Chains A and B, each alone.
Chain A
């Protein structure tokens, strides 16, 4: 067991730190959370800066440890979050890198890296959430195109996306896991209607997407026809396995800030609150170790992150909610003022035990895939 990095990795960290210290002060202030076009432009602008400085491909070309260092250092320095780049950089891109043809990689990966194209994820449907394989959006072959009709829901960033990683049913007559196909759908195609949905935090973070005979070229299919479920598992393992790394660092920073705030407003003298903060510190220390452990494991096996991502997601989503509930106790009456820090975060933390697979579904995965318990009948 070794927690230290190689000299090359430390050299990377040093260079990155220096670069961040130089460029971050020059960045303009971010847009308001509701300004989606503004956020798109801002997030892509940041990605472009990373690209020009040679850091853009860290999400899928570098070693896992290097990527961990990248996420740790950018978060510590207070660099912009991947934001609108989330799906492209953290799971659609890695999926195409792992499963796409050379042509597909050449078509889609460089624009993601250069901060030119935004992706969204069209997996969930009104009747297919936890039971994702029950999806009904249909696709027919017509010449060199698939013709797609149906609807998707909870599609984050759909309003500002150029591409959608889309799951469609290409064969309704086989068991539900077998007739699914993974497509890259251009969001400006004819027949697509995006209707924003307002979240409980007040902003239009996700949307409904209606598809009415949308034509998607057959060449946009990643993996074989009807083999989409397997490709989907690759996508989900990236989404659950490694996409939250930077956030753990952010949570640890918030925890430190909370302790200082509590000292200033006198709540620190309450031993119950103080001990809760201490326990959260233990929790986030351990979550960071779990991240390092999973990354080391991925590095050793050289593959896609495994079901261990579900262990992390279960614990982290819970801890994040506890963190912001504790923040509310530190804030006192300010916890009801949407203009105070941490109040919106407390609301958005509520999604963590739902999005990317609910905690109940993660427990099923842990029990069946890691512990080998029988599937329920």
Chain B
């Protein structure tokens, strides 16, 4: 058993991180916040060129020919970078919607009573009749409301897994931010990270992240719906709880628009409701117990 990243997987993850740092660094992130609703088409095409949407497409069809584990690593990085856009919907549409794989076509999808990025998308999957815009809580994710879903909110397990991977990325990033701040901010004559109350917040954040990480990676290997449901639950928890704890570690600074913490928390909330939220995953796992 080699339940560790292979050298190729490590290289892939580093490559995606490097691409995102170059194309969507802090300045680009804040610029995106200042122009809500605008999707950077150039960046989208760059992602397409890099194979982000075609990772799992066979090489014969012009895809990259990799598997779910690699895709999950790429989505973890997207989550870590707070990359905006209907990433999951477009990735899942590669191979069925022309242009999605290459990043020319932006694909969004109705999910429950909400649609992310409806106006910016070229193709929207699902019934958008009666869609009305919301003033979105998350400045980086425009939302429309649609009438109560006609056929339940069930999404594909793959969408759940990729969402979990994005949430994992958020958990990782807010952990980095919390630790950075705890090391440098001084109060009472020492770095706040020397205080146990702060240390323990950071330690718990890491424990939740690492537990979510193994759950997400294992689900990517097995693709078992119950493993995916478990991964979703743990990753949602790691992202949402982690972002809150990170905000706490930042003190008053954490409550400002200027600090990025709120952007991570808001995005984590938006993702956490996808596919019916935790209820569905919990019920699926409970059913497994007595199956």
A contact set with B: CB distance below 8 Å: 1-6, 9, 65, 68, 255-256, 259-260, 263, 268, 271, 274-279, 281-283, 285-287, 289-290, 292-293, 295-297, 299-300, 308, 311, 314-315, 360, 362-364, 366-368, 370-377
Contact = CB atoms under 8 A, between A and B. Distances in A.
B194 A3 contact: no
A278 B286 contact: yes
A256 B289 contact: yes
Contacts of B4: 1, 293, 296-297, 300
Top 8 A-B pairs ranked by shortest CB distance? A278-B282, A278-B286, A282-B230, A259-B289, A367-B199, A373-B193, A278-B285, A289-B214
A296 B3 contact: yes
Secondary structure at the A interface, as helix, strand, loop or mixed, is helix
Interface of B: 1-6, 9, 69, 179, 182-183, 190-191, 193-196, 198-200, 202-204, 206-207, 210-212, 214-215, 217-218, 220-222, 226-227, 229-231, 233-234, 278-279, 281-290
Contacts of B283: 271, 274-275, 278
A281 B210 CA distance: 17
B190 A374 contact: yes
Contact of B215 (A2, A285, A297, A300): A285
Nearest to A373: B193
B215 A293 contact: no
Contact of A9 (B1, B230, B279): B1
Nearest to A276: B282
B202 A373 contact: yes
Contact of B286 (A1, A275, A360, A368): A275
A363 B199 contact: yes
A255 B194 contact: no
Contacts of A275: 278-279, 282-283, 286
Contact of A296 (B1, B206, B229): B1
A254 B203 CA distance: 29
A373 B179 contact: yes
Contacts of A259: 286, 289-290
Contacts of B288: 281
Contacts of B3: 1-3, 289, 292-293, 295-296
A310 to B, nearest CB: 8
Of the candidates A1, A263, A370, the one having the most CB atoms from chain B within 10 angstroms of its own CB is: A1
B210 A1 contact: no
